[in-house]
Structure 1
Amino acid sequence: MSNIKKVNLGSQGLVVPAIGLGCMGMTTGFGGNVYGNADETEAIATIHRSLELGGNFLDTAEAYGPFLNEQLIAKAINGNRDKYIIATKFAFEFDENGQSTGKINGGRNYVKKAAERSLKHLGTDYIDLYYLHRLDINTPIEETVEAMSELVKEGKVKYIGLSEVGSETIRKAHKVHPLTAVQSEYSLFERQIEELGIIDTLNELGIGLVAYSPIGRGFLSGNIQKPEDLAEDDFRRNVIPKLMGEQFYKNLELVNEIKKVAEEKDITPAQLAIAWVIAKGHLPIPGTKRVKYIEENIAATYVSLTQEDLNRLESIIPLGTETGARYNEEAMKGVNL
């Protein structure tokens, strides 16, 4: 294991490496390929290489596949469960065959059902961090969190969190059972939760921010120079407005400015984007399914940025810059900030 920096995620006692590994792209999911085709052997090798480098915090969800992602992680961690910190999520409702009902379900009974299913698919008897993946607007958040807290009492879950919710929901939930983390999209390209004061709420309550898509859906890597660089069935071409139409080319100009800063520092633009999130005091979980990129991403934890560096990056994409919606209209319905 390397000496990757460890950080407290929130204030409830969970200690994690300064970077996590988003596993969503390691399997097909949400009805198609996410970030292009995946190879199981390479994905498992990526998880193992991450552990060798000190990166043992894995992020998955019941919805990724559905079920396939958790099952892949079970294969990867088999015999080494105690060396990993596993975060998974529930709320998108599925029947036992993995068929979606089209609903978000945060009801007490579904919380228990989904948790038992995730434990089975992960091949473990406990989940380190269990998130509500999306808010069920038809169930009081207090009911959902009460059910999650019962899982903690039973020893099936160690810590709990929410995903893509606003300050009011966070405060209500935190009163029922202390939250360890809130997961939301956050990057140089996507700072809506900062604009809405959600990060201020998290800081006030001692809750960690887990930032997914810290490389801006891969755009901040600088490797995507035209829409055709993404496979036709890659969901980013059809679901992510930042990467579509005229907005793509506007954002590309910003990416190319960030590339210049990275070149000066002799690091990749992706490493710069990750280092920015860490310097802001948050936990990035860039997704990858390739050994090459896990090595590059973890190396970003050793990059130091000064306040001057942060100011320069944020002057390229100032708070409030229009970079396009995070998801298309249909997908945004599940985001309740």
Structure 2
Amino acid sequence: MADDRLDALAPLFQAGGYHHIAPPILQPADVFLDLAGEDIRRRLFLTSGQDGLDLCLRPDFTIPVARNHLAEGAAAREAAYFYSGLVFRQRPDELGEIHQVGAENIGRTDRLAADADMLALSVEAVDKLGGRAPAIRVGDEALFIGVIEALGLPKVWRRRLRDLFGDRKRLDRAIARMAGSEAAEKDARLGFLAALEGADPDAAHAVVEDLLSIAGIEAVGGRSAGEIAERFLEQAALATGAGIGPQTAATLTRFLDISGRLDEAGAALEAFAKDAGLDLSGPISDFRERAKLIAERGLPIEAITFAADFGRRLDYYTGFVFELHDAGAAMAHPPVAGGGRYDKLLALLGAGEDVPAVGFSIWIERIAQGAKA
């Protein structure tokens, strides 16, 4: 731990069964390029080793902790870790060094209780660091996935919307395109792509990327080959009439607009599902149970808000997410802490199966700034 304030957190984490971990600062870059999403990819500090391996300064702790977990035993075993140190991200007009402290819990199968415990632990940790009583915002990507699956959207659109979840402006633009405002004309090229649309979306995406690679196309107008492939497949879906109508677009937007107190959000979600004729009983039931467990942890429900369009812009998050904001700051300001559930990360790192995992990170500098305000 770096100073006395951080030393105070060690007993808190250790009492909960968390073990200290210190992943190396230098990490293989390809792991982050493949898994961390655009939010981090554009901010990496890149270098290379003598063997030519592309390396980066660690931009977060979650992936390094997960890699270490995999290296030391069975992926699905239950383990809990805490950490403190620097992460490195390029930031306009700011230092690239960011001091973080946080925790990760891997392998715990009682997911809803683990979510509630992790949120409670983050609130207690922020309090011990001197942060003012936080305003808490939560979201749940599982609800959004339930909506787009219940609507029966084409695979390429489901994939695209999941990729954009958490970025409301881009999500709204994508929904507008799906509604046919940019419908493509049919031609032979789109006919070929349309044939791929009904196949496995990952396989179809890979085929298009391979074709672009064979043609020597790596980037056009700032878009990567993967982004170009995604655009092609979207255009193919529109050309074959696989977009959505205005009513479906309005349904998606109405869901994304749901927000309010956590203890009232369950009723709002049920009313939406009934009105839209969608079966969301599974994710709504989980949502209600998690809210109940959060209240049982003694957290101030009146200070917790739910936003249906809130997601963390990292590709490995899969369900419940949360942010803690300084009570004296507007919600638009950067959070002092954030985290959530990422059950697919270990599988993407080679575990061979999804492994339940949830965690959070605290930005020390933001707490310090709030304390001075």
- Same fold at TM > 0.5: no
Q: Higher relative contact order by CA 8 Å / sep ≥ 6: 1 or 2? A: 2
Larger Rg: 2
TM-score under structure 2 length normalisation: 0.28
Normalising by the residue count of structure 1, what TM-score does the alignment of the two structures yield?
0.30
